[in-house]
Structure 1
Amino acid sequence: MNHWTRWQTPLLLSLPTALSGWLTDTGSLTRRLQQSCQHSFSVALLESHWDRPLADEAILLRQPLTQLMFQREVHLLDGQQPQIYARTVVPRNTYLAKSQRFDALGNQSLGEMLFNEPSLKRGPLQVAYLQPGQFLYEMASKRLPSRPQYLWARRSCFYVGNKNMLVNEVFLPSDKWSDS
């Protein structure tokens, strides 16, 4: 299994036309999805736990590979259809500074919390072409009715004050991407 995801700046990849605007948008993906939903927008909490992050996540967050971090996985839905698999990785010191807010999220959007923070700064976007065998592909596709041939993803670090966290967003198969 090829565990590593090859993340690159959007300029270095030939992005699919229908997805390029979504992959490179630096605003709130939650807000953009809410505006484009044909049905009601919702968030489905899949998992919320403490675990070791993927190696490339720990490296980007500048944390030891063995450090347990808070991880939250959700689907962003248009009606009943998952559009995005989102995986957030939060170092311990960041979690402790905002533990009440993380604990209260449940089926609410992390994007709403982040983009309402006055001190929010977003790091550079990176994009990746995910294939079967890569951990992030496997996590994103395990609840889908059928496995897609590939998936596109983006990620960036967010900084609230001097605390960081990583948000991975995987674009699941959808007619929405051809309508953008």
Structure 2
Amino acid sequence: MSVAWWHWVASRDSLTHRLIQAAGEHPFRVQLLNEGSDQPYRDESMALLLPPERRTWVREVALCVDDTPWVVARSIAPLGSRHAAPFRSLGETSLGSWLFRQPDLERGPIEISHAPRSIQGHTGLWQRRSVFRHSGWTVLVQEAFLPQMAEALGLPC
């Protein structure tokens, strides 16, 4: 992985904030692709330490600059009032803009993959994921960095 990509993929700060900065004068927005109760993939259940049959709240979004998706994200939270409640009302608001304002936020290790799974038909060049914890709830956040982002920022494909 190039140093330029490493700065994006390994960063532990808010990806939303970084994308807004990189967009400059171009408009940034979150496009909601899918949201609702669903069965997680096996590896997602394992990352959240959930039984495989446990239903979760799944939210998939595209983080867009100039209406072009740069990153697609898939967030998974266990169903239950205290776990999924914060995510049900986000709509087209960035999870990161809420998440990184939480004072007791804990972020687990970042797992990086060069062969990510497709999220709503988008396949990234790199994908990362980590588990976030805050006040008794847990969420798995997975982000795939798309070729359109690489092209716009001059990152190697």
The count of corresponding residues between Structure 1 and Structure 2 is: 153
Q: Cα RMSD (Å) of the superposition? A: 1.9
**Local SS of the residue matching 2:119:** helix
Counterpart Cα distance in 2 of 1:18 and 1:176: 13
Cα 1:66–1:55 change in 2 (3 A) is same
Partner of 2:119: 139
Cα 1:18–1:177 change in 2 (3 A) is farther
Contact 1:19 1:178 in 2 (8 A): no
Residue of structure 2 aligned with 1:37, choices 4, 23, 34: 23
Partner of 2:112: 127
Counterpart Cα distance in 1 of 2:153 and 2:110: 19
Partner of 1:133: none
Task: Name the TM-score, length of structure 1 as normaliser.
Answer: 0.78
Alignment of 1:1-180 (within 5 A): 15-38=1-24, 39-93=26-80, 96-97=81-82, 99-130=84-115, 137-140=117-120, 142=121, 151-173=125-147, 174=149, 175-178=151-154
Structure 2: gaps spanning 5 or more residues: none
Higher relative contact order (CA 8 A, sep 6+): 1
Task: Name the TM-score, length of structure 2 as normaliser.
Answer: 0.89
**Local SS of the residue matching 1:30:** helix
Structure 1: gaps spanning 5 or more residues: 1-14, 131-135
Percent identical among aligned pairs is 34
**Local SS of the residue matching 2:93:** coil
